[in-house]
Amino acid sequence: MLTFKNYNIADWFSFYRIFAAPFLLALIWFDLRLVFTWFLLISYSTDAIDGYLARKLKITSPRGSQLDSFGDQITLIIGLIGLYNFEADFIKTNLIIILIAFIPYISQMLIAYFKYGKATAFHTYLAKLSAVIQSIFILWSLFFTPENALFYIMIIVGILETIEEITLIFLYDNWASDVKGIYWALRDKRRLKNKTPQR
């Protein structure tokens, strides 16, 4: 049975993104583009808020990181559905590029579930940058029209971020959260190795 009493204030912003998903889908269904875009902006904003609160109040946790990642994935999917619905011509024109970008993303998800039994929640700097660029592109496209330069930047950064995630999966035998990036992961492994007593 799911209970909420043990969740902190940062987690509730993640819950908002998850619970807002059906409402956002309804706005897409009723073709309410502007209303959908504003509520999508609110969902994206909660992602920044919950991360800030978790760090500021020192209430980060593996559970919170996983919940945050799930909320991010749901919001991204909803944003892409909205973009496809309201800007179908742009999506169809760039469908091959989009599919190519999704291949490493799907591969990363499969590798993570095979190794850890759940999705990653590394929250690297590159992942945060990619999420910001994705949200800016989607919101810009919905408020105005899709911008090709921003689209290509989003695709490139997204692929690089996914490659980094796959690399981190192979670096960490056990599931880990809040890893800044490959450089920090390698540094931590070196420190751990140096602390291990030599036989």
Q: What is the pLDDT of residue 51?
A: 72
Q: What is the largest CA-CA distance in the chain?
A: 68
Nearest to 180 by CA among 128, 134, 130: 128
Distance of CA 9 to the CA centre of its chain: 20
Q: What is the pLDDT of residue 7?
A: 66
| Residue 192 pLDDT > 60 | yes
Q: What is the mean pLDDT of the chain?
A: 89
- pTM for this model (two decimals): 0.88
Over residues 46-72, the pLDDT tens digits come to 988 877 776 777 767 777 778 888 899
CATH number of 9-190: 1.20.120
Q: What is the pLDDT of residue 13?
A: 85
Q: Which residue has the higher pLDDT, 174 or 4?
A: 174
Residue tagged 């290509």 (tokens):
152
Least confident of 22-36, 82-96, 106-120, 184-198: 184-198
Helix (H) or strand (E) holding 32: none
Burial of 41 by CB count in 10 Å (0-12 exposed, 13-18 middle, 19+ buried)?
Answer: middle
What are the extents of the domains in the chain? 9-190
